[in-house]
Structure 1
Amino acid sequence: MRSRLALTSLVLTLGATTACAEESADPVPSTTQPTDLPSEPAPSESEGESNGSTGNGEPKAAGALVDQLEVPWGLDFLPDGAAVVTERMSGRVLHVTPEGTLDELGAITAAVPEGEAGLLGVAVSPTFDTDRTLFFYLTTGTDNRVLSAELDGMDLGEPTVVLDGIPRGFIHDGGRIAFGPDGYLYVSTGETGDPELAQDPGSLAGKILRITPEGAPAPGNPDPDSPVWSLGHRNVQGLAWDDEGRLWASEFGDSTWDELNLIEKGSNYGWPEVEGTGGGTEFIDPQLVWSVEEASPSGLAWADGHLWMAGLRGQRLWRIAVSANGKASRPTAYFTEDYGRLRTVTTSPDGTIWMTTSNQDGRGDPTPADDRIILIQP
C-alpha cells in the first residue's frame, strides 16, 4: 500500500507547435494570437489566476489523497463513494476510498501502452448495484475498444468486448467514456493523427459515440445503424453533463486554439476544416477557446454549478460559468503550476472534486510523490 496523507489533515484542510505536441515528445514553440485573422476569437481570458487558498468562493485543495501512482488516466465512482482508477501505462485497475485506502482490483492485460495509448477511460455502470459492471476504453495492438468486466468483491472478472474496431494511433486515441443521464455510454475517440478520419462518417475515429451497454448504436442516434453521435473532433479528452442535461466536451486543438464545445446531436465540430471559430454554418463553433499554452485540456467535470476543466500543458484547473441558456463564460484559472500536469477531474458523490496529476507520462517534471489524486473543495 502506497503512502498517503493522514485523513485528519485532509479534513482540517477542507474545513479551513500544437496542443497535440503537448502530447508528444517534441518541443512546442510558443504561439501568439494571430493579428491577421479577425474571424478568430482571442484566447479566453481568466478572471485572475489564483492558487485557491484565499477568498470567498474559491476552490480549496486538501492535498493528496493517494500518491505514487503511475499515470492515472480514468476515474469514476462506485455507489459507495469509492473510486475506480485506471493507470495508462501499467494497465492496473485500482480501488481508492475517500479515506485514502488503495487496493488493486486487477489489470487489463490487453492494453498496449505507447505514445498516448494504453488503458484510458473507465465508467461505472449506472446499474452497478445489480450488475456490478465496469467499462473500460483501451488501446490494443490492433485497435481501440470498449470492454466490460464484472467486479466480484474486490476482484475484476474477465473482460468482454463491447465495441471494437475503433482506429488506434500513437497519438490522438481519445479515450474518455461516461454514462449520460439517458443511461447510454458516450465514448470519445481521436482521429489518430489522420485528420481526414474526423470528417468521415463511416469511420469511428474523431467522433463522440453513443452506444448501449451491450455496444449497439443507442436508440435515437442520428443514424440508427451507427454509434456516431457527433463528428469533426480532433481528440476529445473530457465529457461532462450540466444540471440541464447538456453534454460538454473539452478538446485538444492543433497549433492555436484548444476548445470547449457544447455537443449537439449529429453536429459537426469542424476538424480539420477549421480550428477554433469561423467555420460557417456547416460547423458548430466552440463556446470557448484557449491558447495551447494555457490549456491542452483533458478531464472535464460538473460541480457546484460550474464546469471544471483540467489542463495538461497549462498545468491549471479552469472553472467555467454556464448560464441557464447554455452559454459558457468567465473561465478562471486555479492552482496554476502547483501540481504540474493535470489529467482528470471527476466529481465525487459528496460533491468533492478528485483531480489526478499526469507528471509520470514522460512529458512532466515529476516529484517523488507523483502521480497523485488531489482533493478539491469547489
Structure 2
Amino acid sequence: MTPTRVRPRWALAVVTAGVAFVAACSDGGSPTPPPPPVSGTPAPGTPSSGPARPPATSTTKGTPDLSAPETVATGLEVPWGLALRSDGSALVAERKSGRILQVRPGGGAPLEVYRVPGVAPAGEGGLLGLAIAPDHDRTGWVYAYFTAAHDNRIVRFRLGSTAAPEVIFKGIDKAGIHDGGRIAFGPDGMLYAGTGDATDRPSAQDPDDSNGKILRLTPDGAPAPGNPGGKPVWSLGHRNVQGLAWSADGTMYATEFGQNRVDEVNIIRPGANYGWPEVEGTSGDSRYVNPLVTWTTVEASPSGAAIAGDTLYVAALRGERLWTVPLRGGPPRAELAGRYGRLRTVAVAPDGALWLTTSNRDGRGDPRPGDDRILRFPAR
C-alpha cells in the first residue's frame, strides 16, 4: 500500500483539535519465510555482536510468575495500547473501535472510560499506543497515538471529558503496515514515540522526517530539550518500532521488526543511526549501531517491551511467545510459546506483576475462542 504522505514531515500542534517492496508485514502477517542465515548473522535466539550489555538494577518487587496467570479480561477487539494506573487498574486501547477501557484485577466487565474521535482503522492502523502522564494525579492527562484520516498523530485528553482531545504532534505518515504506534514516558519525564517507515523506506534515514524514528517530545509535543539538532528525532534508521522500555540505570531499549531475516532489540542512544534500510540486523558498518539481540522473523515479530528486575520481556506476534532477555548476560529464553497465540503488549506494574495482551482478532488468522484477552502474571 502506498503511504499517505503529509507535508510538512512533522507538525507541532499545541492547540485543541476538532476532532516499496515489503516481503514481510511488520506484524508478521503472511510473510515470506526467512532465508537461511547469512554469514555474520547471529544464531536464532542468541545475542548479536552488538553493544555490550550495561549493568541493570531491579526496578520492581519480585519476579513475574509466568506459570500462574490471572485472566483480567476476555472478548476484547484487538487490544493494542496498555497503560497501568496508580490504583492498580489498567487502561487498554482497542485498535479498531477507538475505545479506551478500564480493567481491574479480579475480573469484572471492562468499563469504557473514553472514545478517541477520528480514529480511522485500516491495516495495522487505528488506536495504538497509550501513555499516562507522570503527573496524571494532578493533571489527568492521558496520551494516545492513533491513525486519523490523513496521518498518524499523538493527542492528549482527560478521561470522562467531553472536550475534543488536544493534538500535540501530527504529520506522521500512515500506511497499511509499518505504522509504529508505541508511546511511553521515559524516566526523564519526556514522551517517546516509536514510528514506522510507512513503507517509504528512505524516510528512515531522513533526519527531517518523523517516520522510521524514535521521537522524544515534551509533554506539550515540542522537541524535548537536549534532542540532537533541536528536532523531535531522538534516533533514526528504524523500520518499525513497537516496544520501548528503560532499565533502572536509565538505559533505553526498543524492539524493531525486521524484513526477511531478523528482528531486533536495540539499545537506544541519542542521535544514533540503526541502519534501516541499508542494514537489517548486524553489520560491519561503523555508521550504524548493531542490535543487542536478534531473532529470525518466524520466532518473533516483536511488539511490546517491558523490564522487571534485570529482565527485558518482549511480546512476539508471529512467534507467539514471550521472550525474556537477561540484561546481565545470558541467552534469551522463549516462554509461553503457542499458549495464548499472538502477543502484542507487555507491561510491568509497580507490584512486579506482568500484564500481557493478545492480538488474535486482528484479521491475521482464525480468531481463538474468547480472545482477545488481557492476562496478569503476579510477582513471586
Q: TM-score range by the shorter chain?
A: 0.7 to 0.9
C-alpha separation between the residues in 2 aligned to 1:100 and 1:219? 42
**How many Å apart are 1:62 and its aligned residue?**
1.6
Q: TM-score scaled to structure 2, two decimals? A: 0.86
Distance in 1 of aligned mates of 2:68 and 2:368: 18
Structure 2 partner of 1:53 = none
Partner of 2:366: 365
How many Å separate the matches in 1 of 2:162 and 2:361? 25
User: Which whole-Å deviations, capped at 9, do the CAs of 1:193-251 have from their partners, x for residues lacking one?
Assistant: 11100000110000000000100000010111x10000000000100001111110001
Partners of 1:136 and 1:147 within 8 A in 2: yes
In the alignment, what sits opposite 1:33?
Answer: 36
The number of residue pairs the alignment matches comes to 343
Picking from 19, 27, 39, the partner of 1:23 is: 27
Q: Deviations over 1:123-157 (max 9, x none)?
A: 000000100010000011111100000124xx575
> Residue 116 of structure 2 corresponds to which residue in structure 1?
108
Q: C-alpha distance in 2, partners of 1:23/1:310?
A: 12
Name the structure 2 match of 1:12: none
Change (3 A) 1:309 1:58: same
Distance 1:129 1:22, change over 3 A: closer
Q: Which residue of 2 aligns with 1:198?
A: 204
> Which of 321, 324, 341 matches 1:319?
324
CA distance in 2, matches of 1:62, 1:244: 29
Q: Secondary structure, in 3 states, of the residue corresponding to 1:282?
A: coil
The equivalent position to 1:221 in structure 2, one of 224, 227, 248, is 227
- 8 Å Cα contact 2:76/2:371 also seen in 1: yes
Partner of 1:69: 76
Supply the AA of the counterpart residue of 1:23.
Answer: D
* Residue 260 (structure 2) pairs with residue 255 (structure 1): yes
Q: Please, which runs of 5 or more residues in structure 1 have no aligned partner?
A: 1-16, 47-55
The percent of aligned pairs where both chains have the same amino acid is: 48
Matches of 2:271 and 2:201 in 1, distance apart? 19
Q: Where does 1:87-126 land on structure 2 (aligned, <5 Å)?
A: 87-101=94-108, 102-126=110-134
Mapped pair 1:297 → 2:302: yes
Q: After alignment, is 272-281 or 98-107 more displaced? A: 98-107
2:282 matched to 1:277? yes
Following the alignment from structure 2 to structure 1, what is the Cα–Cα distance between the partners of residues 337 and 22? Answer: 20
Deviations 1:272-298 (A, max 9, x none): 000000141100000010000000000
Alpha-carbon shift at residue 78 of structure 1 (Å)? 1.5
Q: Within the alignment, does 1:160 sit opposite 2:163 as a pair?
A: no
Whole-angstrom CA distance in 2 between matches of 1:312 and 1:98 = 24
